[in-house]
Amino acid sequence: MTKAELRIKYKTLRKGLTDEVIHDLSIDIANQLLKLDIWQFSFYHLFLAIENQKEVNTDYILNILSVKIKML
């Protein structure tokens, strides 16, 4: 599949997700990040979600980063 075809496929799949599922999966992703060995770094790159595109809610990740920064 081409990149354009994959974008269409996953955009269509996201449209089928409920707000509750997006919320639950977004929290699961944020919790999985806590297990990674990345917290010694100073800079992180994070895309902000486009809510009407039903993307992962990255606010949870931002909250984790905020807490980690305060701990330094």
Whether the predicted model's global pTM rises above the 0.95 cut? no
User: Given a cut of 70, is residue 7 above it in pLDDT?
Assistant: yes
Give the pLDDT score at 68. Answer: 84
Higher pLDDT, 72 or 16: 16
Give yes or no for residue 16 having a pLDDT over 80. Answer: yes
Q: Read off the pLDDT band of 42 (50, 70, 90).
A: confident
Checking if the pLDDT of 72 tops 70, the result is no
Q: CA of 49: how far to CAs of 35, 37, 42, 59, 71, in Å?
A: 22, 24, 22, 8, 26
